[in-house]
Amino acid sequence: MPDASAQPTTDADRAIPGPLAGYTTLRTGGPAERIVAAGSADELVHAVRAAAEPVLILAGGSNVVIGDAGFPGTVVLVRSRGMRVIAEDATSVTVRVDAGEPWDDLVAATVANGWAGLECLSGIPGSTGATPIQNVGAYGQEVAETITGVEVYDRVEGTRQVIPAAECGFAYRGSIFKYMDRWVVLSVDFRLARSPLSGPVRYAELARALGVEVGEQVPLADARAVVLRLRAGKGMVLDATDPDTRSVGSFFTNPVLDRATYEQLLERSAELGDPPAWPGADGLVKVSAAWLIDKAGFAKGHPGEGGVAISSKHTLALTNRSGTAHTSDLLTLARTISDQVHARFGVTLHPEPVLINCTL
């Protein structure tokens, strides 16, 4: 691997002015002391090594909420691009993708090439390097199912290494990378099946939209097209003309409850009917956060102060509907929702995006 101590002269050596709002899909966030851009893995390593702490790594900005005060340090923009096959056989290919590669560009390329495994993750905004951090998932697929390794720069050891998938701590919308700034993702390796068909469709809503039964397979292009349509209908595909897409997607994760807490929820919600739920291992049950929010009195389109609102298309998305809202306005709405859900159902909602220089 390249020497992590290399010091190329790059865009990362030139500061970029401007507030951080312009680098996030939510379009909120104050200024940084310094913003620099890195166009390759080597440049990214150099930029991080050269910057005084604190340092924030920012790529697509689709899963981050930045406080109105901004960030009191250097923000490094990940702008590396590229994907290449590094291994293949008769049934699979392994593709290495630079961290800054736009995620949906990658998904489109895999579908076009007849590589299955990412098709149900179509339309998700952001960069490829962010996907292992969040263990991005949708419509029955998660990136943890196809990732074989993540190349990182270890800021503690000052070295580059590949962390095997088994050591990434993948969990529901989480990994070892999510709440630790030790590792900077440089590239991600995905092992994909050579197949004109999708994996077995696991998600009931997607199966209905495709006109198939759960467990059936469909052409890759069909899976991608229907996922894009479903996401667009929920305001989850970026569209400059649609204020509902000025968001971070789902703001809250679906709560995962132990059996006792789930039984208490059923008692509290008896007159409303059982919430949508999915059983998991060890007696745990994942419950629909959207249902909890709606039944707690917050319908689609519910307005907050300062130009924020729940999306008119999806209860889980909190939007900068006016385009001029502040992060504090959004967090006030989020706290109001979370407090009411807890008061009504005894369930705590947790934010899905990473909060930078702000708290819920």
Q: What CA–CA distance (Å, rounded) separates 241 from 161?
A: 42
Q: What CA–CA distance (Å, rounded) separates 280 from 322?
A: 39
Query: Does residue 127 contact residue 100 with C-beta atoms inside 8 Å?
Result: yes
Token pair, residue 51, equals: 């910057």
Query: Does residue 78 contact residue 129 with C-beta atoms inside 8 Å?
Result: yes
Residues ≥6 apart with Cβ < 8 Å to 286: 172, 254, 255, 256, 257, 277, 278, 279, 280
- As separate numbers, helices (DSSP H) first and strands (DSSP E) second, the chain gives 8, 18
Q: What CA–CA distance (Å, rounded) separates 23 from 222?
A: 32
How many other CB atoms are found less than 10 A from the CB of residue 155?
18
Q: What CA–CA distance (Å, rounded) separates 237 from 296?
A: 27
Which residue in 27, 173, 191, 246 is the catalytic one? 173
- Closest by CA position to 38, among listed 30, 49, 46: 46
Q: Is 352 a catalytic residue?
A: yes
Query: Does residue 293 contact residue 340 with C-beta atoms inside 8 Å?
Result: no
Residue the block writes with tokens 């590229």: 82
| Coil, helix or strand at residue 246 | coil
Which residue in 80, 187, 250, 338 is the catalytic one? 250
Please list the active-site residues: 173, 250, 352
